[in-house]
A = this chain, B = another copy of it.
Amino acid sequence: MQEFIDLAHELADEAGQIIRQYYRQTFEVEIKNDESPVTIADKGVEKRLREIVMAKRPEDGVIGEEFGIKESKNQYDWVFDPIDGTKSFVIGRPTFGTLIALCENGIPILGVIDQPILKERWIGVKGQPTLLNGTPVKTRACPELSQARLASTSPSQLTNYWQKLCDSSNFMVWGGDCTSYGLLSIGGLDAVIETQLSTYDYIALPPIVEGAGGWMGDWDGKPLDINSDGRVLAVGDKALKTPLLDILKS
């Protein structure tokens, strides 16, 4: 596992170096070929991460947002979202992040959220405590939904559910992208609810959430794998799982 952890750090380091070059350049730079700086950064990161994995672990599969699927010749797949939260990247708000996951037979066993501007990196490894910049972190005890701090990226995404969620607690925050799951893992948030996600948007997150003491799954309460349907719930205190799933089933 240490080989995988070292490689995940190397991938996140490389991603951050590229992303920092384009952050807030969006507003000034004219780009040829109709490619926006965010697209260039996105593709540049994914290309670089694929090169590294292909050089070091040529048998492993790769799934990325920009360049699709390279089939695995063993049980391992790396999954990349170079910039999760592209709107935040574009406006210059450092809540976006690079997501890196390693799956074994389709199940995530390692996940990274890297925020390259704040230089905050969460890493979760199955069976190990989640680390934020090397320090173990824990979710917060919060068994009562009415006391819980909830987050989601946008009400449009949540359709009818957003108002029900707001009614269930008096603390709902919006925006936040992947770093909301990092804040859940350090006890800042108690639940994150999202839908319409692709594999690369969610698959890095369960090892981070669960290694900090929380639970993450789909809206039917099942664990997430590479083929889940993109409706996700993460809770810091497992007692919040049932009341939130009840709302999301209704």
- The answer to whether the Cβ of A247 comes within 8 Å of any Cβ in the partner chain is no
Within A157-192, the residues touching B (CB, 8 Å) are: 162, 166, 171-176, 179, 183, 186-189
Q: Are A171 and B87 in contact (CB under 8 A)?
A: yes
Known contacts A93-B183, A183-B93: A155-B140 contact under CB 8 Å: no
Q: Are A186 and B24 in contact (CB under 8 A)?
A: yes
CA distance A28 to B175 in the complex (A): 24
Q: Are A183 and B140 in contact (CB under 8 A)?
A: no
Q: How many copies does the complex hold?
A: 2
Which single member of B93, B154, B179 contacts A176 (CB below 8 Å)?
Answer: B93
Within A81-99, the residues touching B (CB, 8 Å) are: 87-88, 90-95
Chain B residues with CB below 8 A from A154, complex form: 172-174
Chain B residues with CB below 8 A from A26, complex form: 188
Chain B residues with CB below 8 A from A149, complex form: 87, 90-91
- The answer to whether the Cβ of A62 comes within 8 Å of any Cβ in the partner chain is no
Q: Are B140 and A91 in contact (CB under 8 A)?
A: no
- The answer to whether the Cβ of A55 comes within 8 Å of any Cβ in the partner chain is no
Chain B residues with CB below 8 A from A227, complex form: none
CB distance from A44 to the nearest CB of B (A): 20
Which single member of B95, B153, B162, B172 contacts A95 (CB below 8 Å)?
Answer: B95
- The answer to whether the Cβ of A118 comes within 8 Å of any Cβ in the partner chain is yes
Q: Tell me the A residues contacting B by CB distance below 8 Å.
A: 24, 26-28, 87-88, 90-95, 118, 140, 149, 151, 153-156, 162, 166, 171-176, 179, 183, 186-189
Q: Apart from A118-B118, A155-B162, A156-B166, list 8 A-B contacts with CB within 8 A.
A: A26-B188, A87-B171, A88-B173, A91-B151, A92-B188, A154-B172, A156-B172, A175-B176
